[in-house]
Chains A and B, each alone.
Chain A
Amino acid sequence: MSEQTAIPVHEITPAADLAARFPGAVTVDTRKGYEGCIVDRDHLVEVATAVRDEFGYDYLSSVTGVDYLPEGMMEVVYHAYKTTGGPGLAFKAQTPRDDAVVPSLVAVYPGADLQEREAWDLLGIRFEGHPDLRRILMWEGFAGHPLRKDWKEPYFEEEGKPFKNRWPDGQVYRIEDKNPFDNNVQYPEGFDPAQFEVDDESLLYESLKRSIRGRDSALDTDVIMVNMGPQHPSTHGVFRVAVALEGEKIVALKPVMGYLHRNHEKIGERNTFLHNMPFTDRLDYLSSLSNNFGYALAVEKLMNIRPPERAEYLRVIMAELTRISNHLFAVGTFLNDLGAYFTPVLYAIEERELILDIFEATTGSRMMCNYFRFGGLTRDLPEGIAEKIRRLVYERLPRKIDELDLYLTNNEVVRSRTEGVGVLTPEQAIAYSTCGPVLRASGVPYDIRRAEPYSIYDRFDFDVAVRYHGDTYDRYLIRIDELRQSVRILQQAIKDLPEGPIQEGKPQYQVRVPAGEAYGRVEGPKGELGFYVISTGKPNPWRYHVRAPSFINLTGYEKMCVGNKVADVVAILGSIDIVLGETDR
């Protein structure tokens, strides 16, 4: 510790601390607009272990890669936080572009598993020592790593929007017309459609078999491989799980995703900053306003602006209404998964429709609201809507939540199907980087609204819902608890809603975003939703990454399922509450 005395007091940041602890291996990131520190990749595992054990950053929030094409360098960015709250620490490892290798951190932070696979898939960064480095969103055999800056999609037009006009000669053309196949495809040179390797998913099944090996088996039975999805009514979309079964018991399970991978990040890097706002709606399409919130926060951090008071209140009101509508839907579909087919969903949707009416009146759309702007909102509440919200949160919703609670919570089938099923201990929940209701149901009271308050959440009086068993039942209960807390926040927010403008300055189509990086995160209904944005000062973001809670919560899915019965696969999945738009992006 004696080295630290050499550093001037005002420079003692966690990053400087870390640099002092590992002289030579860690340097503070001094690029303009950047924060955190750069770790020599040879010492990455050692430094990460110290970050976790000595510095207390036990929660690895986000892992992503950035392709710095002009510098010929790839960078892997890690954002770590303390589960006791407070600001985070960003550390980065750099590697040359043509031989992108970084040691894997799965041994230190198991939550890095799926995220490192994603970085390998989309950016081609190899993580040495990763136990199961396969492609995750695209299929094996896909040509290239699409998020690399020099990789061009078949419908490539220009590097950044706005594009030049599509009718230069007075004649409009479509991008298909320029593609030789009149379709969204491209093939490598010399490709022969008669003979090529079709992805037979052998890597997936090998990985399943590796997980099976070393099990202690009391039964002498064959292991059966079962595939559930991508078309299955209980997968909440196009999610797929490959399960290895011994009798009824699950011995191994691998989530397979990417069936709804719609290239959010690649499109996001071509878009201007504001263009991305409507795309964030379509991430977690059940809670579009929360997504808007996270993205607006990240970009506002870069631009260093804050919205006016009334806009802050309206943002909180909209985000909490979104949380209610999402949790209602989550509880309804969860019961669907347990076999209470459609009736609980009907009850949940009835209330959700009332909230959607408010969204439609305010933003113009039921689901894809596109309501937030940098430094404000698109429009104010129309006449009568504030009263509608007030009636909803003071009268109707509390009663309806109680009703849901009364019908479901002590239902015998619900309890026997869920109690003690899919347990995740607090240590595991933190290690697997689970977030939101899943983390809090495991007894970790970590809620970003409290841990690192954003917007005006520090003004409201509410409890962080927490449950301690970490089983499927608690993950259901925590949603009921959170519904009540959201109603509490809403009651305070609608009461104190001030008058005033809703947009800082004049609304702009083209915002000027200074160069730098920012990681904005919000407590979305599904968990920590983070946006990692890098600007180079141009109209388009250089890198736009989404830390998707649905995606990262699935890291611990195998751990929750192994040892349970096959019917619990859907119950546990329902209790994690994933949305495929966000899982696959």
Chain B
Amino acid sequence: MNEMKQKNIESTKFDIPPELQGQVEITTIDKIYNWGRRSSIWPLMFGLACCAIEMICTAASRYDFARFGMEIMRPSPRQADLMIVAGTVTKKMIPQIVRLYNQMPEPKYVVAMGACASGGGPFKEGYNVVSGVDRYVPVDVYIPGCPPTPQALIHGLITLQRKIDTQSIKKVRWYSKEPIDAIPVPLLGPDVVDPRQNAIIREQAEKIIEQSETNAAGTAQVEQA
């Protein structure tokens, strides 16, 4: 086995000086770059709800995601690579989540852990619940479960590592010439207002008035009946 590897290394078409022979591996820049990053993903220490407890259990000795190079959880978004959105995202919290995401330096990844972060989960119908964090920030990996077991979380993180493996340094957004715009922070008015949706909101404003009129007429009829 060792011999074979040795042979492979030495049989490259590159001219390797004799003193370095046997000590050099040749690979693509993408591979080494991705390997470096996938093995030291620092998650943001940031839990929202129930899933955060399972995240802590995953970090603890029994499941131990330090095995995948992720043990260094940073409380500051400035030092984090990965945001594990662990729990229900509420309207009151979404401005802070978007701000945290904007504060994270590139390259950055988002994992939506659990049903709530992926799509609202059991609380979807609630008036203060955002139907999935992907309405505001781009999500790389979704993990189903309520809450996902530590095994599921680890599987999700390995999936993220696989995704990182496929990235090409030529194409990733953080090396492109175009600037990356920050995501506009939602505002808390009579309900949460996503600035990107302003046009639709304005468009719907008139329709809503019409609808509420017809609705009012409808309920009046029901009451009479």
Which A residues contact B (CB, under 8 angstroms)? 137-139, 141-143, 146, 153-157, 175-176, 180-181, 183-194, 196-199, 230-233, 237-238, 258-263, 266-267, 270, 278-279, 282, 285-286, 329, 342, 345-346, 349-350, 352-353, 366-368, 580-581
The one of A260, A285, A286 in contact with B90, judged by C-beta atoms closer than 8 angstroms, is A260
Query: Given the complex of chains A and B, what is the CA–CA distance between A329 and B122 in angstroms?
Result: 25
Contact in complex: A238, B48 (CB < 8 Å): yes
Contact in complex: A237, B190 (CB < 8 Å): no
Query: Given the complex of chains A and B, what is the CA–CA distance between A89 and B78 in angstroms?
Result: 53
Interface mask (B73-94 → A, CB under 8 Å = 1, otherwise 0): 0010000000000011011110
Chain A positions within 8 Å of B128 at CB level: 137-138, 146, 258, 261-263
Interface mask (B183-205 → A, CB under 8 Å = 1, otherwise 0): 00001111111110110111011
- B67 contacts the other chain (Cβ, under 8 Å)? no
Question: In the complex, what's the smallest C-beta–C-beta distance from A582 to chain B, in angstroms?
Answer: 11
Interface mask (B111-153 → A, CB under 8 Å = 1, otherwise 0): 0000010001011111111110001000000000011010000
Chain B positions within 8 Å of A279 at CB level: 122
Q: Residue of A at shortest CB range from B150? A: A366
Contact in complex: B61, A187 (CB < 8 Å): no
Name, among B53, B130, B135, B200, the residue most crowded by chain A CB atoms within 10 Å (CB to CB).
B53
Q: Residue of B at shortest CB range from A199? A: B188
The one of B96, B191, B208 in contact with A142, judged by C-beta atoms closer than 8 angstroms, is B191
- B65 contacts the other chain (Cβ, under 8 Å)? no
Contact in complex: A183, B135 (CB < 8 Å): yes
Chain A positions within 8 Å of B204 at CB level: 180-181
Contact in complex: A262, B126 (CB < 8 Å): yes
Chain B positions within 8 Å of A581 at CB level: 49-50
The one of A233, A270, A352 in contact with B75, judged by C-beta atoms closer than 8 angstroms, is A233
Contacts A193-B198, A196-B189, A233-B45 given; indicate if A267 touches B62 (C-beta within 8 A).
no
Query: Given the complex of chains A and B, what is the CA–CA distance between A184 and B49 in angstroms?
Result: 20
- B160 contacts the other chain (Cβ, under 8 Å)? no
Question: In the complex, what's the smallest C-beta–C-beta distance from A322 to chain B, in angstroms?
Answer: 13
10 additional A-B pairs beyond A187-B189, A198-B187, A581-B49, beta carbons within 8 Å, are: A146-B128, A191-B201, A191-B205, A237-B49, A259-B92, A263-B125, A266-B127, A267-B125, A349-B62, A352-B57
5 interchain residue pairs of minimum CB distance = A263-B126, A143-B190, A285-B50, A153-B127, A349-B60
- B157 contacts the other chain (Cβ, under 8 Å)? no
Contact in complex: A580, B49 (CB < 8 Å): yes
Query: Given the complex of chains A and B, what is the CA–CA distance between A180 and B138 in angstroms?
Result: 22
Chain A positions within 8 Å of B42 at CB level: none
- B212 contacts the other chain (Cβ, under 8 Å)? yes
Chain B positions within 8 Å of A262 at CB level: 49, 88, 90, 116, 123, 126, 128-129
Contact in complex: B191, A270 (CB < 8 Å): no
Contact in complex: B61, A176 (CB < 8 Å): no
Query: Given the complex of chains A and B, what is the CA–CA distance between A279 and B49 in angstroms?
Result: 13
Contact in complex: A180, B208 (CB < 8 Å): yes
Q: Residue of A at shortest CB range from B63? A: A353
Question: In the complex, what's the smallest C-beta–C-beta distance from B62 to chain A, in angstroms?
Answer: 5
Chain A positions within 8 Å of B131 at CB level: 176, 183-184
Chain A positions within 8 Å of B212 at CB level: 189
- B207 contacts the other chain (Cβ, under 8 Å)? yes
Query: Given the complex of chains A and B, what is the CA–CA distance between A198 and B193 in angstroms?
Result: 10
Query: Given the complex of chains A and B, what is the CA–CA distance between A552 and B197 in angstroms?
Result: 38
Chain B positions within 8 Å of A285 at CB level: 49-50, 53, 147
The one of A176, A258, A267, A350 in contact with B92, judged by C-beta atoms closer than 8 angstroms, is A258
Q: Residue of B at shortest CB range from A197? A: B189
Query: Given the complex of chains A and B, what is the CA–CA distance between A353 and B96 in angstroms?
Result: 32
Contact in complex: B189, A263 (CB < 8 Å): no
Chain B positions within 8 Å of A329 at CB level: 53
Name, among B49, B128, B130, the residue most crowded by chain A CB atoms within 10 Å (CB to CB).
B128
Query: Given the complex of chains A and B, what is the CA–CA distance between A157 and B126 in angstroms?
Result: 12
Query: Given the complex of chains A and B, what is the CA–CA distance between A138 and B116 in angstroms?
Result: 19
Contact in complex: B190, A138 (CB < 8 Å): no
Chain B positions within 8 Å of A198 at CB level: 187-189
Contacts A139-B188, A141-B188, A142-B191 given; indicate if A350 touches B61 (C-beta within 8 A).
yes
Query: Given the complex of chains A and B, what is the CA–CA distance between A175 and B122 in angstroms?
Result: 14
Query: Given the complex of chains A and B, what is the CA–CA distance between A570 and B90 in angstroms?
Result: 24
Chain A positions within 8 Å of B93 at CB level: 230, 238, 259-260
Contact in complex: B48, A267 (CB < 8 Å): no
Q: Residue of A at shortest CB range from B131? A: A184
Chain B positions within 8 Å of A231 at CB level: 46, 96, 100
- B26 contacts the other chain (Cβ, under 8 Å)? no
Q: Residue of B at shortest CB range from A143? A: B190
Contact in complex: A345, B50 (CB < 8 Å): no
Question: In the complex, what's the smallest C-beta–C-beta distance from B71 to chain A, in angstroms?
Answer: 10
Question: In the complex, what's the smallest C-beta–C-beta distance from A452 to chain B, in angstroms?
Answer: 30
Contact in complex: B191, A185 (CB < 8 Å): yes
The one of A187, A192, A260 in contact with B49, judged by C-beta atoms closer than 8 angstroms, is A260
Residues from 28 to 48 in B contacting A, C-beta threshold 8 Å: 45-48
The one of B96, B130, B193, B208 in contact with A196, judged by C-beta atoms closer than 8 angstroms, is B193
Contact in complex: B60, A230 (CB < 8 Å): no
Query: Given the complex of chains A and B, what is the CA–CA distance between A279 and B116 in angstroms?
Result: 13
A-B contact pairs, 25 of them (CB 8 A): A139-B92, A141-B188, A154-B191, A155-B124, A155-B125, A157-B125, A180-B208, A181-B201, A183-B135, A184-B124, A184-B130, A187-B193, A193-B202, A194-B202, A230-B96, A231-B46, A259-B93, A262-B90, A262-B128, A263-B125, A285-B50, A346-B60, A367-B54, A367-B147, A581-B49
Query: Given the complex of chains A and B, what is the CA–CA distance between A245 and B166 in angstroms?
Result: 50
- B52 contacts the other chain (Cβ, under 8 Å)? yes
- B209 contacts the other chain (Cβ, under 8 Å)? yes
Query: Given the complex of chains A and B, what is the CA–CA distance between A230 and B100 in angstroms?
Result: 11
The one of B50, B116, B189, B209 in contact with A189, judged by C-beta atoms closer than 8 angstroms, is B209
Query: Given the complex of chains A and B, what is the CA–CA distance between A197 and B92 in angstroms?
Result: 15
- B56 contacts the other chain (Cβ, under 8 Å)? yes
Chain A positions within 8 Å of B135 at CB level: 183
Question: In the complex, what's the smallest C-beta–C-beta distance from B143 to chain A, in angstroms?
Answer: 15
Question: In the complex, what's the smallest C-beta–C-beta distance from B46 to chain A, in angstroms?
Answer: 6
Query: Given the complex of chains A and B, what is the CA–CA distance between A264 and B212 in angstroms?
Result: 27
Question: In the complex, what's the smallest C-beta–C-beta distance from B42 to chain A, in angstroms?
Answer: 14
